[in-house]
Amino acid sequence: MRFGYERFAELDEQALEEGWPPGWRMDHEDREANRQKILAGRLKTDLWVFAYGSLIWDPAVHVTEYRHGFLQGWHRSFCMRLEGGRGSHDRPGLMAALDEGGQCDGVVFRITAGLVDHETKFLWHREMFAGAYEPRFLEVDTPQGSVEALVFVMDRSNRRYVPHLDQEKAAKMIAIAEGGLGSNFDYLHSLVGHLNELDIEDREMRQLLERARVHR
C-alpha cells in the first residue's frame, strides 16, 4: 500500500469513467497542507505511529522499531463506509477506524528522524486518501513506557462515518463487498489473524468475522 501520484491519476480516470460522486478523495494540496499542519515542528524528530488496522502488518513505510501499544479512550470499529479499494459504490464495504470510547490494543512503530518528512508523504497518501480520518497526537502506553504517537481516528464529521451500525448489517456488508484491492471479508479476516498472532484480544472483531463468514 505504498503508492505515489500515478495511482491517484489512475483512480481519477476511473472515477471520471464511472461517474463517482464529487469529493470521493482529498485534493493533493489539502492533503499536503494537512500533513504540514499536523507535523509542524516534528519533521526532524523520531515519529511514533499507532497502528490498529492494516498498518499493523503493512505499514508501507520504513520502520525502525515496533512495540505493543495500548490506547485509552478509543476503540477499533468498522465505522467507515468504504466505496473503493475493498468496496464499491454499488456494494460498499466497511473500513476499520478508531471511534471514541473504550480502549484499543495495537502496535506502535517508530520512523527515524531522518526519514520522517519523506515517509509521512506516503503515509498521508494512504491514510488521508479520502480525508476521512483525523490525525491526532495521543498518548499510547507501551511495555517500555508511554509515547506520544500519531493516531488516525475517525473524522465524525465525514460523510463516510456510519456510527452505531448493527453488527449483523455490518457483517453482511463486509461479506459481499469487493473492490480493486480485493474483498472486504479478506481484510477483516487478515485483521483478526494478525491480532491473534500478536495475542491481542478483541472479542468484537472476532464476533464480526464469524457473522460475516455466515453470509459468504
- Residues with a known catalytic role: 127
216 closest CA partner among 174, 175, 171: 175
Provide long-range contacts, Cβ within 8 A and 24+ apart, for 152-159.
Answer: 152/97, 152/98, 152/127, 152/128, 153/74, 153/97, 153/98, 153/99, 153/100, 154/77, 154/79, 154/80, 154/97, 154/98, 154/99, 155/131, 156/99, 156/100, 158/80, 158/130, 158/131, 158/132, 159/23, 159/81
Q: Where are the alpha helices (DSSP H) in 92-162?
A: 116-127
Q: In what helix (H) or strand (E) does residue 75 lie, and over which residues does it extend?
A: strand 65-82
Closest to 89 measured CA to CA, from 170, 158, 21:
21
Q: How far, CA to CA in Å, does 147 sit from each of 59, 133, 185?
A: 18, 21, 33
